[in-house]
């Protein structure tokens, strides 16, 4: 089980006792620490949501049903307790995980900005990958988007998987060329209106509108020759027939 799958499984269920998860948990001190933190967080959330029901709640309900007196419409105090608990848990989540948040709307940021945020979040795991994936595997993961690549990839496919890009299913791929250059590629189900270039001074992203209302986005270090690769990938990306 790779690091990304391990993190996703633990985030979905910190109490997952699957043998593969337990093996990955024990594989490194970092994994063990993450599992411990998530288990503690899960316990804190459970405790925060355990709200005591007032002792006189039954009497109040019976009185309300039998009384013809118009009373002020108020929310029971235990609702406020639940709201406070949820706010408390949300604060814990933000404090526990200092992950770079992704924009939640295409209107909030460009595709390039979203791509860089996604890159920074995943690069500690994906940059070290060396899967040697095939074009067939890439196209299998592109199937939900209704597109595929025709022709060989320009470099070794070191990593390929599905990902959530601005809350939409997308393809995340890492290409390593013979000259040592590494490129992160996203194929997303959002069509850029035009070619876009975005840089934060360290990394740069180029997004091109592609087949079937999709976009190809290439991320690399600022100053790298992104456009030729982005245009080559766009030319090879076609709608499935």
The 10s digit of each residue's pLDDT in 125-183 is 888 888 899 999 999 999 999 999 998 888 899 999 999 888 888 999 999 988 888 99
Q: Taking the alpha carbons of 25, 29, 35, 39 in that order, is the dihedral positive or negative?
A: positive
* Contact (Cβ atoms closer than 8 angstroms) between residue 192 and residue 208: yes
Type and span of the H or E element at 112:
helix 111-126
Q: Taking the alpha carbons of 34, 17, 118, 186 in that order, is the dihedral positive or negative?
A: positive
> Which residues in the chain come in under a pLDDT of 50?
68-70, 72, 74-75, 92, 94-107
> What is the per-residue pLDDT for 101?
39
166: tokens are 């601005």
> What is the per-residue pLDDT for 236?
94
181: tokens are 């250059």
Residues whose CB is less than 8 angstroms from the CB of residue 19 and which lie 6 or more positions away in sequence, other chains included: none
> What is the per-residue pLDDT for 133?
92
DSSP, res 133: B
pTM recorded for the entire structure: 0.56
> What is the per-residue pLDDT for 58?
60
> What is the per-residue pLDDT for 178?
82
Enumerate helices (H) and strands (E) in the chain, giving the number of each: 8, 8
In degrees, rounded to 5, the angle at the alpha carbon of residue 17 between the alpha carbons of residues 15 and 23 is: 115
Q: Give the three-class secondary structure for 142.
A: helix
CA dist 74 → 58, 77, 78, 181 (Å): 16, 9, 12, 63
> What is the per-residue pLDDT for 109?
73
> What is the per-residue pLDDT for 156?
93
> What is the per-residue pLDDT for 117?
92
> What is the per-residue pLDDT for 69?
46
> What is the per-residue pLDDT for 103?
42
DSSP, res 180: S
Residue 41: exposure state from Cβ atoms within 10 A (0-12, 13-18, ≥19): middle
């Amino acid at each position: 089980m790779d690091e990304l799958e391990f993190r996703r499984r633990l985030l979905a269920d910190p109490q997952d006792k699957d043998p593969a998860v337990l093996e990955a948990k024990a594989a490194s001190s970092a994994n063990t620490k993450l599992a411990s933190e998530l288990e503690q967080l899960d316990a804190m959330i459970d405790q925060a949501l355990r709200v005591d029901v007032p002792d006189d709640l039954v009497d109040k309900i019976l009185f309300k049903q039998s009384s013809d007196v118009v009373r002020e419409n108020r929310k029971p105090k235990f609702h406020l307790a639940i709201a406070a608990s949820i706010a408390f848990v949300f604060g814990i989540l933000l404090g526990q995980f200092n992950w770079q948040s992704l924009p939640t709307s295409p209107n909030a940021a460009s595709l390039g900005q979203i791509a860089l945020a996604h890159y920074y979040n995943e690069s500690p795991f994906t940059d070290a990958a060396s899967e040697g994936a095939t074009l067939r595997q890439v196209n299998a993961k592109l199937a939900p988007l209704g597109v595929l690549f025709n022709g060989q990839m320009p470099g070794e496919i070191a990593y390929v998987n599905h990902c959530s890009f601005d809350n939409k299913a997308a393809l995340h791929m890492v290409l390593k060329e013979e000259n040592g250059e590494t490129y992160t590629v996203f194929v997303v189900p959002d069509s850029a209106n035009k070619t876009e270039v975005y840089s934060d001074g360290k990394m740069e992203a180029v997004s091109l509108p592609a087949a079937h209302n999709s976009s190809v986005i290439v991320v690399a270090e600022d100053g790298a020759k992104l456009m030729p690769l982005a245009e080559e990938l766009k030319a090879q990306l076609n709608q499935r027939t």
